[in-house]
Amino acid sequence: MRTRTALFRLSHYGRPHVGVLVAAFACMVVLGLGTGAYAYLMGPALGFLLSGGTEGFSGAHAVPWLSTLPREAALWGFPVVVIAVGVFKGVGYLGQFYFMGLFAQRVVRDLRRDLFLRLTALSPSQLSRERTGDLLSRFSTDMTAVEWAAMYTVGSYLRDTLQVIVLAGVALAMSPLLGALMLAVIPLAALPASRLTRKALRGTREGQAQLGQLAGQLHEGLGGLRTIQAFNGQAAELERFSAHTKAHEEAVVSAAWARGGVPGLMEVLAAAALAGALAYTAATRAMEPEALLSLLTAVILVYQPVKDLGRVTQFAMQAGAAGERLFALLDLRHPVEDGPGAVAAPPLAQSLRFEDVHFSYGARRALEGLTLELPVGKVTALVGPSGGGKSTVASLLLRFEKPQSGRVLLDGVDADRYLAATVRAQFALVTQEPLLFSGSVLENLRFARPEATLEEVEAAARVAHADGFIRELPQGYDTRLGERGVTLSGGQRQRLCIARAVLSRAPVLVLDEATSSLDPESEREVQSALAAVLPGRTALVIAHRLSTVTGADITHVVEAGRIVESGHHLDLLRAGGRYAALWNLQTVGSERGAA
């Protein structure tokens, strides 16, 4: 996406708040008129001083009551006018900064909300391709760039452009010829300034990207600190970090040189214009001193907002580069989108079925013509070696992904005919990594069903064998858990996740390697909870360790994306096939480990 396109799309976020922008512009009009008044009054003030005040402020024709005042009255009248103009400008400054700040906050609020909604609407596989630190950088650094542009660049473009128009009008009113010649430096600077701006933009875009890389590496490093230290990898990480830092520094410095060239160029051209005007006036005596002073004041004052416009353009460039990164995420679409005419899925009544389903992650095939049925009221287990496609089944059921061919049926109806959110509502998911939030125990459990009463929460916790340890916590159900539930053991966290799934009242419980990362004691705790939860429920249990699914009603062995064997635990052992081989391999391994 081009930067100009990104800026145009960012401008859409300002349209709902155009009323605030109008209020800011009104304040800028006050400010611009006040600045023009200062420039205009400089000439009459000089005439008053040079004449000793004998003619009063006769040169101030635009202020009739001031131009007719006698000397004595002018001595107090002029300071009153200067103070009034200062108050006028002060109110304008205050109003424009307040309203522009309000405008920027509302723009960023809406953009941040849309980005959050988009990220939470993407599939896990889409997010897994992005570095977490880089995503956080877009929420922080890139959002800040947009905020600064909305506050300062938009404000400067309105305010400084208005001041340029007012002051140019004053200069041309004093002398059309000299005013036009002195103001001609502004368009003359446009071509070299545009080239410098493009160079600055390239550096800014690269700098934003390198900041994302730095944030991503920092996040990875903090998450893998034990591994880094265990392998004495600090030096290698520092070298990688230094490479990103150097690339960021070079990009930012290059952009800074280019940005600095714009006001520098204006300074040189402005000095040349002023020198030329003074030389011409001195040689031809084309203007009275009072008029010349007003002209010079207006021109000098007009160069400052022009330079400011060049200076704040850097914020626009940073916002454009940030917008490219933000819209790269906002433009992503979930692989499963609701089709036209999609309806809400009714509660599951009979079975879930996969019909000849194929699915690949890029070049890696995950499912090869999988056909599978999960009857209601039964516990179905999927086992087999890693990479066989077991977790892909769960992803397809929950509509995180869509089959590339074949169908997923709910009670005989293609899942594509239903709204994806209502299909997901049929399932309660418990994953290998117990995911808890930093709120209280009660808040974490109610995440599944916010309207649940305390009695219903406690009942679900008792079913999951979690009520006992919850009550032993310092504040019971109101105890804060910390980030990802770090204050609890692995088994306790997983039992809370099971309680949350029970509380959801979803028709189907999906356990994806729910005990694989636990120590033996924690695994026994969770297995005890599952023994109370699973009987009579519709459940899909995905497991690597066969000992955790011996009670399943039916077990399917999945290898290379296909079901190679199905049956009950004892029947599969007697069959002596692939399941029996895996069982013997794991049993022998466990016995040797115990020995």
pLDDT digits (tens, 9 = 90+) for 203-256: 766 776 776 677 666 766 665 665 566 556 667 777 777 877 777 777 777 766
- The pLDDT score that the predictor gives to residue 504 is 86
Q: Which residues pair with 559 in a beta bridge?
A: 562
Whether 66 shows a pLDDT value over 60: the answer reads no
Lowest mean pLDDT among 33-42, 69-78, 488-497: 69-78
List, for residues 81-122, the tens digit of each pLDDT value.
Answer: 778 878 888 888 888 888 888 898 899 899 988 988 888 888
| 381 CB-contact burial (10 Å; exposed 0-12 / middle 13-18 / buried 19+) | buried
Distance (Å, rounded) from C-alpha 491 to C-alpha 517? 10
- The pLDDT score that the predictor gives to residue 75 is 66
Distance (Å, rounded) from C-alpha 269 to C-alpha 27? 31
List, for residues 488-545, the tens digit of each pLDDT value.
Answer: 887 888 888 888 888 888 888 888 887 766 666 666 767 777 777 777 788 898 888 8
Residue 40, both tokens = 């205009």
Q: Name the pairing type of β-strands 379-383 and 562-567.
A: unpaired
| 513 CB-contact burial (10 Å; exposed 0-12 / middle 13-18 / buried 19+) | buried
Lowest mean pLDDT among 23-37, 159-173, 400-414: 159-173
| 4 CB-contact burial (10 Å; exposed 0-12 / middle 13-18 / buried 19+) | exposed
| End-to-end Cα spacing for the chain | 62
DSSP SS3 for 567: strand
Distance (Å, rounded) from C-alpha 427 to C-alpha 413? 17
Whether 306 shows a pLDDT value over 50: the answer reads yes
Q: Does residue 224 or residue 312 have the better pLDDT?
A: 312
- The pLDDT score that the predictor gives to residue 417 is 92
Whether 484 shows a pLDDT value over 80: the answer reads no
- The pLDDT score that the predictor gives to residue 431 is 82
- The pLDDT score that the predictor gives to residue 260 is 63
- The pLDDT score that the predictor gives to residue 390 is 87
Q: Does residue 516 or residue 459 have the better pLDDT?
A: 459
State pTM to two decimals. Answer: 0.68
Within 350-440, residue ranges assigned H as helices are: 390-397, 420-424
- The pLDDT score that the predictor gives to residue 407 is 92
DSSP SS3 for 450: coil
- State the helix-helix crossing angle for 176-183 and 289-330, rounded to 10 degrees: 40
- Closest by CA position to 537, among listed 512, 569, 510: 510
List, for residues 353-378, the tens digit of each pLDDT value.
Answer: 999 999 988 788 888 889 999 988 88
Of the chain, the percentage scoring pLDDT greater than 90 comes to 7
Q: Does residue 189 or residue 30 have the better pLDDT?
A: 30
Distance (Å, rounded) from C-alpha 121 to C-alpha 107? 21
Q: Which residues pair with 409 in a beta bridge?
A: 353, 414
- The pLDDT score that the predictor gives to residue 595 is 43
Lowest mean pLDDT among 13-27, 48-62, 166-180, 265-279: 48-62
Within 175-288, residue ranges assigned H as helices are: 176-183, 185-188, 190-223, 225-230, 234-284
Q: How many CB atoms within 10 Å of residue 352? A: 24
Residue 257, both tokens = 């040189």
What is the pLDDT confidence band of residue 593, given thresholds at 50, 70 and 90? very low
- The pLDDT score that the predictor gives to residue 76 is 67
Lowest mean pLDDT among 32-36, 354-358, 428-432, 589-593: 589-593
Whether 447 shows a pLDDT value over 60: the answer reads yes
Q: Which residues pair with 372 in a beta bridge?
A: 354
List, for residues 277-286, the tens digit of each pLDDT value.
Answer: 667 676 777 6
Distance (Å, rounded) from C-alpha 26 to C-alpha 94? 12
Whether 124 shows a pLDDT value over 90: the answer reads no
| Beta carbons of 156 and 312 less than 8 angstroms apart | yes
Question: What is the architecture of the domain spanning 345-426+540-595?
Answer: 3-Layer(aba) Sandwich (3.40)
Domain segments of the chain: what residues? 3-330, 345-426+540-595
Distance (Å, rounded) from C-alpha 492 to C-alpha 466? 7
CA dihedral 361, 362, 363, 367 (to 10 degrees): 30
| Beta carbons of 466 and 492 less than 8 angstroms apart | yes
CATH ID of 3-330, from 1.20.1560.10, 3.60.21.10, 2.40.30.10, 3.40.50.10470: 1.20.1560.10
Q: Does residue 166 or residue 192 have the better pLDDT?
A: 166
For 474-506, letters b (16+ CB in 10 Å) and e give eeebebebeeebeebbbbbbbbbbbbbbbbbeb
Q: Give yes or no on whether 3-330 and 345-426+540-595 have one common fold.
A: no
- Closest by CA position to 448, among listed 492, 509, 515, 364: 509
Q: Name the pairing type of β-strands 351-361 and 427-430.
A: unpaired
| Beta carbons of 107 and 151 less than 8 angstroms apart | no
Which H or E run contains 544?
none
